[in-house]
Amino acid sequence: MGKSYRVAVVPGDGTGPEVIAEGLKVLKAASAKYGFKLNLSHYDLGGERYKRTGEILSDETIEELRKFDAIYLGAIGHPDVKAGILEKGILLKLRFALDQYINLRPVKLYAGVDTPLKDKKPEDIDFVVVRENTEGLYAGAGGFLKKGTADEIATQESINTRKGVERCVRFAFEYCRKRNKAKKLTLCGKTNVLTYAFDLWERTFYEVAREYPDIKTEYAHVDATSMWMIKNPEWFDVIVTDNLFGDIITDLGAMIQGGMGIAAGGNINPEGVSMFEPIGGSAPKYTGLNVVNPLAAIMAGQMMLETLGEETAAAAIEKAVMKVVAEKTKSMSAGQMGYSTSEVGSLVAGLI
């Protein structure tokens, strides 16, 4: 008898429910084939619920979510709700409360997917970004003084703790070793300007590096990293960076791997409950049209299985996705796949 996992499903806003439905279709096919069980509990969180009830995310819900083996999330963000309310109130609150201190974002070009980078092939674009996920400029430190006056002051401070930085860096070294490809870890920072925050990062990085003599280390400023991701993406194996830089370079990464339609990520707490999501967002203009690409959500489900320890099933999902993008879909963009959202989900599920 296979194992059984309790998964909280949060379809969320916009196209979130549509892509999560396809992800679940694929996960169900995998569970039937590989003999593990998924006990799903749906949670209604997001902009619609907030508009209806005024509730964003209660402490009780967080306590309930803590008890699951994983969380499968669609998208959070609603055009009628002021920017920041749902993002901070749901997505960031969950990442922080569940101490999901790693945001793991693979950047991998599959054969048959178009990249805007001329002459770059699948073997050139295959790296993973380990983004710190609970600190930095996202910690919410700062505030206003004399708001709304001519003398207004706004501050926003980047919080970097030795513990927070070290556990992230350590995860990246371990991940790089386990991935076992080029075995090269790049620290992406800005030591030439952010001389406190990235001084701590750099010292921590090279101290921890001594415990990993098999891993090559390298440092790159974030601006240069952005340049090289376009010019020489093949230089990267694993990149570790802070929260904001990780946010920015993974959108860039999503574009070079073919777009938001295929980019997935995991908010990982290696000692607790992790949460998996397509990184694209709620895409309100496509809501309900059955045109968005569900592959990012499907790959988020794939990462979830891998993290839960169902590695064979996870590998089967990736293989199925690779076959669908190589042989079926015309594009990764909404409305241009040559298939509807639900058809793409069925194509992948059918290959499991």
Residue 306 is a binding residue for Mn ion (CB under 5 A): no
How many residues form the binding site for ligand IPM (CB under 6 A)?
5
Selected binder of ligand IPM within 8, 279, 296, 313 (CB under 6 A):
279
Interface positions, 86-105, toward ligand IPM (CB under 6 A): 87, 91-92
Partner from Mn ion, ligand IPM, none binding residue 91, C-beta < 5-8 Å depending on class: ligand IPM
Q: How far is the CB of 18 from Mn ion (least distance, A)?
A: 20
Partner from Mn ion, ligand IPM, none binding residue 87, C-beta < 5-8 Å depending on class: ligand IPM
d(CA 348, CA 328): 10
Under DSSP, the state recorded for 159 is E
Closest by CA to 76, choosing from 261, 283, 338, 307, is: 283
Residue 242 binding Mn ion, by CB under 5 A: no
Q: Given its phi and psi angles, is residue 301 left (phi above 0), alpha (psi -120 to 50 degrees) or beta? A: alpha
DSSP labels, 63-126? HHHTTSSEEEEEE---TTS-TTHHIIIIIIHHHHHTT--EEEEEEEPPTT---SSTT--TTT-E
With vertex at residue 184, the alpha carbon angle to CA 222 and CA 125, rounded to the nearest 5 degrees, is 70
CA–CA distance, 20 with 122 (Å, rounded to integer): 26
Residue 74 to residue 57: CA distance in whole angstroms: 16
Question: Which stretch, 53-61, 114-122, 169-177, 243-251, contacts Mn ion (CB under 5 A)?
Answer: 243-251
Does residue 48 touch ligand IPM according to CB under 6 A? no
Q: Which is nearer to ligand IPM, 204 or 282 (CB)?
A: 282
Residue 234 binds ligand IPM (CB under 6 A): no
Min separation Cβ 118 and ligand IPM, Å:
27
Contacting positions for ligand IPM (CB under 6 A): 87, 91-92, 247, 279
Contacting positions for Mn ion (CB under 5 A): 247
